[in-house]
Amino acid sequence: MAQVKPAVRGTDHKRQSIAPSVGAALKRTQAPGMGAPSMRSHGQNLETETNYDVISMADRSEGIYRRNLQYENTYKMEPDVRFMAGCVEKEAEDVLTERLKDMKYDPATCKHLSQELAGIIMERVKLFAFKRYKFVVVVSIGSLKERPGMQFGSRCLWNKGTDSFANVKFANGSLFAVAMIYGLYYE
- Residue numbers of the site for another protein (CB under 8 A)? 17-19, 67-68, 105, 107, 110-111, 113-115, 117-119, 121-122, 125-126, 134-159, 163, 180, 182, 184, 186-187
Measured CA to CA, the distance from residue 81 to residue 86 in angstroms comes to: 14
CB of 18 to another protein, least distance (A): 8
Closest CA to 101 of 29, 177, 166: 177
CB of 48 to another protein, least distance (A): 27
* 159 torsion bin: left (phi>0), alpha (psi -120 to 50), beta (else): beta
Q: Is the Cβ–Cβ distance between 56 and 8 less than 8 Å?
A: yes
When the beta carbons of 54 and 55 are compared against another protein, the nearer one is 55
For the beta carbon of residue 128, count every other beta carbon within 10 angstroms.
15
Cα 130 from chain centroid? Answer: 17
When the beta carbons of 34 and 119 are compared against another protein, the nearer one is 119
When the beta carbons of 85 and 136 are compared against another protein, the nearer one is 136
Q: Which residues contact 89 (CB under 8 A, 6 or more apart)?
A: 166, 167, 168, 181
Measured CA to CA, the distance from residue 173 to residue 168 in angstroms comes to: 17
When the beta carbons of 40 and 132 are compared against another protein, the nearer one is 132
CB of 58 to another protein, least distance (A): 19
CB of 94 to another protein, least distance (A): 17
CB of 35 to another protein, least distance (A): 35
When the beta carbons of 39 and 130 are compared against another protein, the nearer one is 130
